[in-house]
Amino acid sequence: MSRISLGLVKALRSQSLQARSTWQLRQDALPALLQTRRFFGWSSNSGDDGKKGDVPESTGTSESSTDERQSGRKSKRTSAAAQEGAIVPVKQDGHLRKDSSGFEPVCMALPLFGRPLFPWHNQLIQITSPKIAKEILSLTENSKKMTHIGFFLRKSMPNELPKEGEEEDLLPSAKLEDMSGEDPMEVLHNVGTIGRVAQAVPVWSPKDGEVVAVQMLVQGAGVVRLEKVLNKGPPLQVQIAQITPEEWDGKDEMVRATMNETILTVQEIMKVSSSFREHAQYVNQSLQQRNARVQPDAVLDATNPLDKLRLALELLKKELEVAKLQQKISNQIEEKMSKNQREFMLREQLKSIKKELGIDKDDGSETILQKFKERLEGKEVPKEAKEAIDTEFEKFANLAKESQEYQMTRNYLDWLSSMPWSVYSKDTFDLKKAREILDRDHYGLADIKDRIREFIAVGVLRGSMQGKILCFVGPPGVGKTSIGKSIAEALGREFYRFSVGGLYDVAEIKGHRRTYVGAMPGKIIQCLKKVQTSNPLVLIDEVDKIGRGHHGDPSSALLELLDPSQNSAFMDHYLDVAVDCSNILFVCTANVLDTIPGPLLDRMEVIRLTGYDLQEKMKIAEQYLVPNAMVEVGLKQKKAEAQSEVQVQKVAEEVEKSEDAKPQEPEPEPEVKAEPKQLKPEVKAEIETGAIESLIRWYCREAGVRNLQKHIERICRKLATKVVEKWEDKSQGTSSKDTDATGDAIDPSKSEVIELRVDEASLSEYVGKPVFTSDRLYEGQLPSGTVTGLAWTAMGGSVLYIEATALARRRSDPDKPATAPPMLAVTGQLGNVMKESSQIALLVARRQLQARGKDGFFEEHELFLHCPEGATPKDGPSAGVTMTTALLSLAMKKPIPTDLAMTGEVSLNGKVLAVGGIKEKTIAARRAGCKTLIFPEANRRDFDELPKYLQDGLNDLVAPSPSEFHLHFAFDRGLLIEG
Ligand code: ADP
């Protein structure tokens, strides 16, 4: 390979080594390569290409053609070329002469960087050395002919060249065109191009107007060799010799083979590289358009055609490798990047195909999906749920509307998407506010409110209420539910309530499997959907009445839901993904504790509500129930509303006054007449304290206040009816008066005050005859064998009488004592426990009697024991002492004082055991007018803890009762009877 060819290869290599983009490299090299291709007869354009010594009429490259079109200088340039004539090769020996074509062996030379000037190419070259710029300008201006300059590529890049990035400027910079400090023969490649300066545009300094640079459009005219440096300049003056490429033999096998290989390579590159293809097409086209035949001189590197081809092939092969590599990389990246895009495209296509085929769901499904997606926006869906949702989304998008699964999936997605995933309301841990809210809604209940406040305080310190289950236990209507509601408000949580009373199906809690027709999620998922936060307060009513059926055990499902160690991943059958229920605050309510499943009870914090006595009920009624009921029926306004109403009324009155002030208002508007009817009269309705008291005493004796509330509401409704009746009467009366009158517009409602009072006497008018006529079943002395017992039921405490009677047995021999075992017939709907305790009572009573030497009564009589109110089932062991006392009283024929009541469980040995519900029982006993109460010693603490007002007025309990019949078993001894 010649020195020259090596020079070019080096130059080109240095280009790629400098990390120029392949695009730039192609831009540089391709025109030359294509010209080579044409030269070797590949083009279909001219079958007889490659004739030696063909004269180029005009060269075509992308640059030149563009430039020409832009500058519109084509005609001038071609004519200039024609005028100058062909460049006749000088002798290969490099002998210098000015030939007929006007080739000047002496010219100015300029170094080029990065890219050589190719023959038959137009190139913009910028000279930034003012001295050289001025020289060039003077040359172009003075010379009649075209100015020629030799351009030689630098072997190595000067250090001062612009750095990468700055180099993006495609114009080769000739900033360092000043070569005076170097040896040009060493620094420059010795083969270069002679270029005609087609145009030179000076650049002036904005400061002093001096020429600082020049921009030239240069046309490569031929290949030349640098012979000698005449003057280092600047500008550099050199002596050059024209180089003529060697003749080539188109029939030479080597040449042809290389040629074919080159073409194949070009074709291959065109296959893999689209930009190369475009460029090649463009060049080819422009060549065809010009019908140009090109000189092989367009390639600088070699004089020998075979060498040229080899070099070109080498470059092309390299280019092919690069293109392949590039394609591979881009494929890989594309594969990664466009996966989603492709999926999207495919989906769109699938959609349109389906539409075409008529199996597309209505456009609605898109909207539905969109809706679901919108719902999920901003929610932090847990991974498991997210996966489920994504799968269902995908499935849903491809389901036909008619299919059964469509509806199912849609419902499922509806539920999944409307869960409040990771949506929490912020707890307001504010003790003061909590107290305010609790006091606002509930009278009394001081200890319960304190418990709740403690509970909140713990929440403040721990920062969460996680893992807490409260359980309010107490009779109905004592405010369990409404306290739950108040807690929710105090904490700023959403409130949801559901009852599990009589619930037999697990699905109610855990949901159905999705495969069932009409499947639904369980209550708790429904709750979450409704409240839209993951931390509501859920009130589960009647946990003591949860059932058990053949559809599994709801209480264990409830346990799963409530158990803090399980409920962080609660699995609903329908939803089928874990839902975190651990932030829900559960509050349960129950009437009794015994029927609450043990494991459930274990996890609860039980708070007892005992029920209210007369005084408390009075307060509740006066402060809460009556005002609320009045508001409910419209007899009064809520405080906040009342104020604004007053203002409205005032404004209305003022308006009317001002209207009245204008007496000569000619046209009375029709609305004005209707107006008075709209205005409500002032109502003063009141339920007197006495009425409330007798209401509680004679109508509503239960532990809670729900019945009382109902009665009060009934009274209020009746009051409302009366008010409206009166109002109507009056307004009709006045309106008829109005018409009679001479036209004086008197507002009938203005001065009117309707006053209504409910007192003790008129109470029956509103609520009918009293339900209870007496506090007691027995007035005056109790018959012997009848004892007042105290019971505690789910409805609260109550007084219960135990009646025992005996009938003498008929004996065969009246002189002989009866030996048959005593028989006790028990009636009054007693439960098993109570029946058993009646047997124990009999045994204990017999023993006591024996101890007193009065044996024989029980054996000689048929015994009957009855609890009145036989329709109500009763059970429990706490009537033990009462039964025993009744039997003893009967046997000893000693009546029990009327105001004495008792409770206590009796063991077989006559020991008295503790019982529950002391407060309720005390309240019930006081209500029944009992003054002396007998409780087991073990219950002393419970009694001592009772509020003062409940203890006041009772007899000293340890003292024997006024009767002869001493009941010393009471506190300290635990034994039933002392002789
Ligand atoms: P429970 O759930 O215990 O059966 P509720 O909570 O439904 O009873 O209460 C019944 C009604 O009695 C509610 O309207 C409630 O406001 C009212 N109530 C109960 N206790 C009180 C109280 N201490 N103060 C004011 N109102 C009360």
Place of tokens 């006559």: 910
Which contiguous run of DSSP H or E holds residue 480? helix 480-491
Mutational pocket test of ligand 1: of 437, 480, 482, 920, the residue with most ligand atoms within 8 Å of the beta carbon: 482
Cα 754 to ligand 1 centre (Å): 31
Output the CA 391–ligand 1 centroid distance in Å: 48
**pLDDT over 80 at 173, yes or no:** no
Give pLDDT tens digits for 325-338. 888 888 888 777 77
Query: pLDDT value at position 496?
Result: 94
Q: Which atom in ligand 1 lies closest to the alpha carbon of residue 476?
A: 4
Which two tokens mark 339? 């996966």
pLDDT higher at 797 or 775: 797
Which residue's CA is the closest to the ligand 1 atom numbered 24?
Answer: 442
Q: Mean pLDDT, to the nearest integer, of 37-62?
A: 36
Mean pLDDT of 413-438: 88
Residue 139 scores a pLDDT above 50? yes
Structure tokens at 253: 């096998």
**Residue 676: its pLDDT value, please?**
41
Q: Whose CA is nearest to atom 18 of ligand 1?
A: 479
**Residue 34's pLDDT band (cuts 50, 70, 90):** very low
CA 919 distance to own-chain centroid: 48
Residue 111 near residue 152, CB atoms below 8 Å: yes
CA distances to 640, 717, 720, 765 from 713, rounded to whole Å, are 22, 6, 10, 14
CA 976 to chain centre: 67
- Residue whose Cα lies nearest atom 20 of ligand 1: it is 479
Indicate the length of the chain as a whole number.
979
Q: Given this model, what pLDDT does residue 817 score? A: 62
Q: Report pLDDT digits (tens) over 452-483.
A: 888 888 888 887 777 678 899 988 888 899 99
Atom in ligand 1 nearest the alpha carbon of residue 624: 25
What's the rounded Cα separation, in Å, for the pair 729 and 716? 20
**pLDDT attached to residue 178:** 62
Closest CA to 885 of 943, 833, 961: 961
How large is the average pLDDT for residues 91-115?
A: 64
Of residues 659 and 964, the one with the higher pLDDT is 659
Least confident of 160-174, 380-394, 789-803, 814-828: 160-174
Q: From ligand 1's centre to the CA of 102, what distance in Å?
A: 120
Pocket mutation for ligand 1, best pick of 472, 478, 489, 615 (most atoms within 8 Å of C-beta): 478
- Shortest-distance atom of ligand 1 to CA 485: 6
Q: What is the pLDDT of residue 819?
A: 65
Q: Which of 592, 614, 793 lies closest to 701, judged by CA? A: 614
Q: Write the CB contacts of 114 (distance below 8 Å, at least 6 apart in sequence).
A: 14, 15, 18, 20, 157, 167, 172
589 Cα nearest atom in ligand 1: 2
Nearest protein CA to atom 10 of ligand 1, as residue: 477
Q: How many whole angstroms separate alpha carbon 94 and alpha carbon 92? A: 5
C-beta separation of 79 from 257 below 8 A = no
Helix residue spans in 743-820 (DSSP H): 763-767
Q: What is the pLDDT of residues 332-358, one digit of tens each?
A: 887 777 777 888 888 888 878 877 877
Q: Assess whether pLDDT exceeds 90 at residue 312.
A: no
Active site residue ranges:
878, 921
Q: Measured at the alpha carbon of residue 531, what is the angle toward residues 529 and 535, in degrees to the nearest 5? A: 100
Q: Which atom of ligand 1 is nearest to the CA of 616?
A: 23
pLDDT number for residue 895? 83
307 vs 719, higher pLDDT: 719
Q: Closest Cα to residue 327, out of 274, 282, 277, 280?
A: 274
CA of 46 to the centre of ligand 1 (A): 107
On the question of a cis peptide bond just before residue 234, with omega within 30 degrees of 0, the verdict is yes
Could you write out the DSSP letters of every residue in 210-275? -EEEEEEEEEEEEEEEEEEEEE--SSEEEEEEE--PPP--TT-HHHHHHHHHHHHHHHHHHHH-HH
Classify residue 263 by burial, with Cβ atoms within 10 Å: 0-12, 13-18, 19+: middle
Q: Which of 624, 626, 696, 702 to mutate to test the pocket of ligand 1 (most atoms within 8 A of CB)?
A: 624
- Rounded to an integer, the average pLDDT of 768-791 is 79
Using the atom order of ligand 1, give the atom closest to the CA of residue 609: 3
What b/e readout covers 264-292, taking b as 16+ CB neighbours within 10 angstroms? ebbebbbebbeebeebbeebbebbeeeeb
Q: Comparing 961 with 392, which gets the higher pLDDT?
A: 392
Q: Whose CA is nearest to atom 26 of ligand 1?
A: 442
What is the radius of gyration, based on Cα positions, of the chain?
56
Residue 145 scores a pLDDT above 80: no
Whole-number pLDDT of residue 501: 85
Torsion, Cα 550 554 555 557, to 10 degrees, reads: 130
pLDDT score at 540: 93
Please name the residue whose Cα sits nearest to atom 1 of ligand 1. Answer: 477
Alpha-carbon distance values, 465 to 35, 215, 427, 531, 572 (Å)? 85, 81, 9, 18, 23
Does residue 8 carry a pLDDT above 70?
Answer: no
DSSP 833: H
CA distance 764 to 638: 28
Alpha carbon distances (Å) from 74 to 69, 282, 290: 7, 19, 12
Q: What is the pLDDT of residues 858-868, one digit of tens each?
A: 888 889 999 88
Q: What percent of the chain has pLDDT over 70?
A: 72
DSSP characters for 616-674? Answer: HHHHHIIIIIHHHHHHHHTSS--HHHHHHHHHHHHHHHHHHHHHHH-TT--S--HHHHH
In the prediction, which pLDDT does 610 show? 80
Nearest atom in ligand 1 to 444's CA? 23
Q: Which of 705, 711, 713, 920 to mutate to test the pocket of ligand 1 (most atoms within 8 A of CB)?
A: 705
Condensed to tens digits (0 to 9), the pLDDT of residues 568-620 reads 889 999 988 999 988 888 999 998 888 888 888 888 888 888 878 788 888 89
For residue 705, give the ligand 1 atom closest to its CA: 12
Q: Which of 130, 109, 302 is nearest to 218 (CA)?
A: 109
Name the residue at shortest CA distance from atom 19 of ligand 1.
479
Check if the beta carbon of residue 85 is closer than 8 Å to that of residue 103. no
Question: Which amino acid residue places its CA nearest to atom 6 of ligand 1?
Answer: 479
Tell me, what's the pLDDT at 710? 92
- Paired with 497 in beta bridges are 539
**Residue 377 — very low, low, confident or very high, per pLDDT cuts 50/70/90?**
confident
Q: Token digits for 534?
A: 């993951």
What secondary structure does DSSP assign to 353-381, as a single string?
HHHHHT-PPPTHHHHHHHHHHHHHTT---
Given the CA of residue 442, which atom of ligand 1 is nearest to it?
A: 24
Q: Bridge partners of 934? A: 902
pLDDT at 689 over 70: yes
Cα of 621 to ligand 1 centre, how many Å? 11
Ligand 1 site residues, Cβ closer than 6 angstroms:
442-445, 476-482, 589, 620, 624, 704-706, 709
Ligand 1 probe mutation, 440, 486, 543, 706, most atoms within 8 A of CB = 706
Token code pair at residue 5: 């060819």
Indicate whether this model's pTM tops 0.85.
no
Average pLDDT of span 528-541: 92
- The predicted pLDDT at position 258 comes to 79
DSSP string over 320-344: HHHHHHHHHHHHHHHHHHHHHHHHH
Torsion of CA 918, 923, 925, 926, to 10 degrees: 140
How far apart are the CA of 782 and the centre of ligand 1, in A?
A: 37
Facing residues of 804 across strands? 865
Between the CA of 483 and the centroid of ligand 1 the distance, in Å, is 8
Tell how far the Cα of 436 is from the centroid of ligand 1, in angstroms: 17
Distance between Cα 330 and ligand 1 center (Å) = 74
> Whole-number mean pLDDT of the chain?
74
| 385 contacts 528 by C-beta, under 8 angstroms | no
Is residue 368 scored above 60 in pLDDT?
yes
Beta bridge partners of 172: none
DSSP assignment, residue 154?
Answer: B
Tell me the range of 458-472, 473-487, 672-686, 783-797 where mean pLDDT is highest: 473-487
| Both tokens assigned to 664 | 């000569």
- Position 741 pLDDT exceeds 80: no
> CA-to-CA distance for 738 and 133, rounded, in angstroms?
114
CA of 224 to the centre of ligand 1 (A): 112
**Cα-Cα-Cα-Cα dihedral of 388, 394, 398, 404, to 10°?**
10
- pLDDT for 222: 81
Say how far apart CA 592 and CA 606 lie, in whole Å.
11
Biggest CA–CA distance in the chain, Å, is: 178
Query: Whose C-alpha lies nearest to ligand 1, atom 17?
Result: 479
Q: What is the mean pLDDT of residues 929-955?
A: 82
The encoded tokens of residue 171 equal 């114009």
Residue 627 CA to ligand 1 center (angstroms) comes to 14
Q: Which of 4, 306, 241, 210 is nearest to 107 (CA)?
A: 241
d(CA 517, CA 873): 41
Residue type, 219: Q
CA distance 515 to 697: 57
**Average pLDDT, integer, range 945-958:** 74
299: confidence class by pLDDT, cuts 50, 70, 90: low
Residue 528 exposed, middle or buried by CB count within 10 Å (0-12, 13-18, 19+): buried
Ligand 1: centre distance to CA 620 (Å): 9
Q: Whose CA is nearest to atom 9 of ligand 1?
A: 479
Q: Pick from 333, 320, 298, 309: which is nearest to 252 by CA? A: 309
Closest protein CA for atom 15 of ligand 1: 479
